[in-house]
Amino acid sequence: MNIYKALNEMINYIELHLEDGIKYEKLAQILTVNEYTMRSIFSLMCNMSIAEYVRKRRLSNAGFDLSKGHEKILEIAQKYQYESATSFSRAFEKFHGIKPSSVKNHPENLKIFPPIMFDEKVESYEDVKYSIIEKEEMILYGKGMQTNYCNISKDAPAFWGKMNEKYKRQYGNIKFGMVVYENRAESDNYEYWVLYDKKIDEFEKYIIPKSKWLIFNICSQEAKDIQEMSHKFYAKILPILKYNLRNIPEMEYYHDNITEFWIPIEN
């Protein structure tokens, strides 16, 4: 499967349905995965959630429509699936920096957000060893921080380093890193946690449910290498394996200068 070709098909489908309802199940069918997995792949490959991408494309087109002056603001709001002219105006001003009513006099201030396009000639095959295991419920203890898609690449390693420096002497090496998503369909807000596999009273308890995990590793614990491998997994490995993800946190297990990636998958 060429993931880039499939993503272009998803983009084309979205373009055809910007003025009506976009069916997430249809997008998942294009990638031959479930909706949660599709949203995960899209957010990693496009650097934003599907909801954010659709919002930007609709507002970009709405600006062009308003500049032509043939439709009323309410008509365009309804055209691009906004419930009211007020909610549309608020989103429009946040995106373009001007009110819809000002477009006629200041069309030069409009922003354009073009459709994303992928190079389908890029190879999407990788020689990666992996295993699948089933683990019982895990009880871990740690601390987390709020972050988002744009900042997690620098926030996570900084937080890990801070926690390791503060607690290593007392509790030993950090065992796990964990990413918790607020809602991949609608939000780019994340939490990043560092966790130990032993009870520590000053830390929060976190229960990881029993699950089946797809596991692969790299011989590094450097943030740059971890982030590169994580992106490669979603871009090149997961579409080939065609496993569906579970909506529980992804884990990183650190040991012996190795980082193991634990990806929760459905049975």
Instruction: Identify the pLDDT of residue 252.
Output: 94
The pLDDT score that the predictor gives to residue 69 is 82
Distance between CA atoms of residues 118 and 104, nearest Å: 34
Q: Does the structure show a pLDDT above 60 at 241?
A: yes
Cα dist from 144 to 141, 171, 178, 264, whole Å: 10, 17, 9, 20
* Res. 264 pLDDT band, cuts 50 70 90: very high
Confidence at residue 13, expressed as pLDDT on a 0 to 100 scale:
96
pLDDT band at residue 24, thresholds of 50, 70 and 90?
very high
Per-residue pLDDT band for 106 (boundaries 50, 70, 90) equals confident
Task: Please give the Cα distance from 149 to 126 (Å, whole number).
Answer: 25
> What structural domains does the chain harbor?
3-109 (1.10.10.60), 131-265 (3.20.80.10)
Strand, coil or helix: what is 190? strand
* Lowest mean per-residue pLDDT among 109-118, 146-155, 180-189, 193-202: 180-189
Task: Scan for tokens 């390693």, then name that residue.
Answer: 157
Q: Give the residue carrying structure tokens 């009211």.
A: 84
Q: Other C-beta atoms within 10 Å of 65: how many?
A: 15
Overall residue count recorded for the chain in this entry: 267
Measuring CA to CA, how many Å separate 78 from each of 52, 62, 85? Answer: 18, 11, 8
Range from 9-18, 77-86, 96-105 carrying the lowest mean pLDDT: 96-105
Bridge-based pairing of strands 211-218 and 258-265 is antiparallel
Cα separation, 156 vs 165, in Å, equals 14
Q: How do residues 118-143 score in pLDDT, each as one tens digit? A: 887 766 555 677 889 999 999 999 99
Q: What is the mean pLDDT of residues 8-33?
A: 93
Q: What mean pLDDT comes out for the span 156-177?
A: 94
Interatomic CA distance for residues 157 and 226, integer angstroms: 10
- Whether residue 223 has pLDDT greater than 90: no
From the CA atom positions of the chain, what is the Rg in Å? Answer: 22
Model confidence band, residue 82 (pLDDT cutoffs 50, 70, 90): very high
Angle at 229 between CA 226 and CA 232, to 5 degrees: 150
Split at pLDDT 50, 70, 90, the class of 227 is confident
Contact 197, 176 (CB under 8 A): yes
